[in-house]
Amino acid sequence: MNKKQITQWVNNETTLRLWDDKVTGLFIKRNAKSYSWNVSYRNDSGKKHSIKIGLYPSVTLDAARESARQHLINLAQGKDPLSQRKEKKLASKDTIQAYFDSTYSVVLNGKKSGNETAAYFKRHCSELMKLTFAEINAKHIHKWHMNMIAKDLKDSTIQRVYGAFKTLVNDAVKKQHITDSPIHNINLDKYHRPEQGVKQVNERKYLSKEQIANLMRALDLYQEKRRTERKNSRLHGKANLPSFDDLEYVDFVKPAILVMFYTGFRPSDIRTLTWEEINLSSTTPTIRKALEKSKHKNNEPQTFPLMPEATQTLKKWKEQSNNSPLGLVFPSDKGTIRTKRFISDPWKKHIRPLASLPEDFDLYNLRHNFASWLVMSGTDLLTVAKLMGHADTKMVEKHYGHLAPEHKQNALSKAFNMMMPNDD
């Protein structure tokens, strides 16, 4: 097994498990919403068991192998991994303060800033330290954050204290006191605090490259899940239902989200999109559409170029779907316009969880992702505004200008380089 094989298995294979060829018993398992590393073994009585090591890709192949080897070594020494896991589960019921007193305080004693960090915990984290590893969650962190703000602590101090607290919890994982950090993915929100020099939070979020890859994989996983469900239905008394096996798309979800991803259109614009507005026959495919009316937008019909990926998606969907009387690209089963939540519901229920995206990353953020990456790639703000259907650059500058701080400097340098005479 190698990284390439894992990626191919995740994206293409339908088998439940992929076994490692270097560490006996190690395999990666396909779950409903994730992929997990596991190690299979037999205990002293010969009974077969398997134990979960961690989630892929958070746990790398090398880390999974190392953990599996350790489990097998422990097994050879008469230590059953499941018994150890039960011990860790019990350990997770220890308070964080108990772990600090018994173990982490010794670690801090050997660090230059150890006394200062210990003082942070005593002064600012007393309530968090009373919690057990098993019970602490985002709700506790948010409440603690609000208390720190109420005390008028500087944001830099709050971040420093929380960082130290996270390091404490991570140490418990490192020393195998607990299996996973319960606050690994919990970050502090930013709030509007002008007196602290903290500007208004920009809620417009964008995806990292890894998250984009996870999103594309999630769309495929959703399709496979629907295909499996349909097969089971046909095998158990509903043979009259059409098969999904030979269809490019099991329903509208994947093509609709892909079109939104590649165009930056709002869900409402996708909902009302018609084939009459789409030109797929030219060498430069386009959509000519009046986007949703708003005081900040130009609601006159505008022409938007299509990425090859969007073009192929629409072509395949058109071949597969039956046009509605209204010419809608994504009509309801009755051929009428869909409800306003037609994409957001499957996004929340299926796609976002399958992609392991944050709960606050709603469907509309795909539009912000579109704009953010355009700006970060160096696209001039006027072009970004036009691609988003804005009448001018004001909204783009306000919400995305911070992603291209060099934009004005580059424009200034370019202008003066052109106007100044050469030394020759």
| pLDDT for residue 199 | 44
268 with 315, same domain: the answer is yes
268 with 383, same domain: the answer is yes
pLDDT of 190 over the 80 cut: no
Asked whether the beta carbons of 67 and 23 are under 8 A apart, the reply is: no
How far apart CA 363 and CA 357 sit, in angstroms, is 11
54 with 163, same domain: the answer is no
| pLDDT for residue 198 | 46
Residue 413 lies in a domain: no
Using the 8-state DSSP alphabet, how is residue 243 labeled?
Answer: P
Give the residue, 44 or 71, on which the prediction is more confident: 71
Residue 126 CB coordination number (10 Å): 11
Segment among 26-40, 235-249, 284-298, 336-350 with least mean pLDDT: 284-298
Residue 423 lies in a domain: no
| pLDDT for residue 419 | 66
Q: Domain range spanning residue 70?
A: 3-82
Give the residue, 86 or 345, on which the prediction is more confident: 345
Output the DSSP codes for 300-358.
S-EEEE--HHHHHHHHHHHHHSPPPTT-BSS--TTSSPPPTTTTHHHIIIIIHHHTT--
Nearest to 262 by CA among 313, 301, 320, 302: 313
Give the residue, 112 or 249, on which the prediction is more confident: 249
Q: For 276-305, what is the mean pLDDT?
A: 79
Note the residue count of the chain: 424
| Straight-line distance from the first to the last Cα atom of the chain, in angstroms, rounded to the nearest whole number | 62
Q: In terms of pTM, does the model score above 0.85? A: no
| pLDDT for residue 18 | 92
Q: For 34-53, what is the mean pLDDT?
A: 84
How far apart CA 249 and CA 263 sit, in angstroms, is 19
Q: For 43-62, what is the mean pLDDT?
A: 84
Segment among 171-175, 191-195, 263-267 with least mean pLDDT: 191-195
Residue 417 lies in a domain: no
How far apart CA 96 and CA 88 sit, in angstroms, is 14
pLDDT of 43 over the 90 cut: no
pLDDT of 162 over the 50 cut: yes
| pLDDT for residue 92 | 53
Give the residue, 360 or 319, on which the prediction is more confident: 319
Q: Which residues pair with 193 in a beta bridge?
A: 198
- Could you tell me the pLDDT band of residue 276, with boundaries at 50, 70 and 90? very high
Q: What is the CATH number of the domain that holds 317?
A: 1.10.443.10
Residue 113 CB-half CA count within 13 A: 6
Q: What element of type H or E holds 54?
A: strand 48-56
Segment among 236-245, 254-263, 285-294 with least mean pLDDT: 285-294
300 with 368, same domain: the answer is yes
pLDDT of 294 over the 60 cut: no
Token code pair at residue 229: 């469900």
Convert the pLDDT of each residue in 198-215 to its tens digit.
444 445 678 999 999 999
CA angle 190–196–200, rounded 5-degree value: 40
| pLDDT for residue 200 | 43
Residue 202 lies in a domain: no
pLDDT of 78 over the 90 cut: no
286 with 371, same domain: the answer is yes
pLDDT of 298 over the 70 cut: no
335 with 309, same domain: the answer is yes
| pLDDT for residue 189 | 80
| pLDDT for residue 53 | 83
For the chain, the C-alpha Rg in angstroms (whole number) is 27
Torsional sign, CA 105, 111, 114, 115 = positive
Give the residue, 390 or 27, on which the prediction is more confident: 27
Quote the number of domains for the chain: 3
Q: For 47-74, what is the mean pLDDT?
A: 86
How far apart CA 2 and CA 11 sit, in angstroms, is 14
Task: Provide the 3-class DSSP secondary structure of residue 136.
Answer: coil
Nearest to 346 by CA among 287, 267, 230: 267
334 with 189, same domain: the answer is no
Residue 89 lies in a domain: no
CB-neighbour burial class of residue 121 (10 A; exposed 0-12, middle 13-18, buried 19+) = buried
Give the residue, 295 or 140, on which the prediction is more confident: 140
Q: What is the CATH number of the domain that holds 51?
A: 3.30.160.390
How far apart CA 61 and CA 292 sit, in angstroms, is 47
pLDDT of 357 over the 60 cut: yes
Domain end: 25, 57, 82, which one? 82
Token code pair at residue 54: 């961690």
14 with 60, same domain: the answer is yes
Domain end: 173, 196, 219, which one? 196
- Could you tell me the pLDDT band of residue 158, with boundaries at 50, 70 and 90? very high
| pLDDT for residue 346 | 95
Sequence-separated (6 or more) residues with CB below 8 Å from residue 204: 365, 368, 371, 372, 399, 400
Residue 358 lies in a domain: yes
Alpha carbon distances (Å) from 171 to 29, 330, 332? 27, 50, 52
pLDDT of 99 over the 60 cut: yes
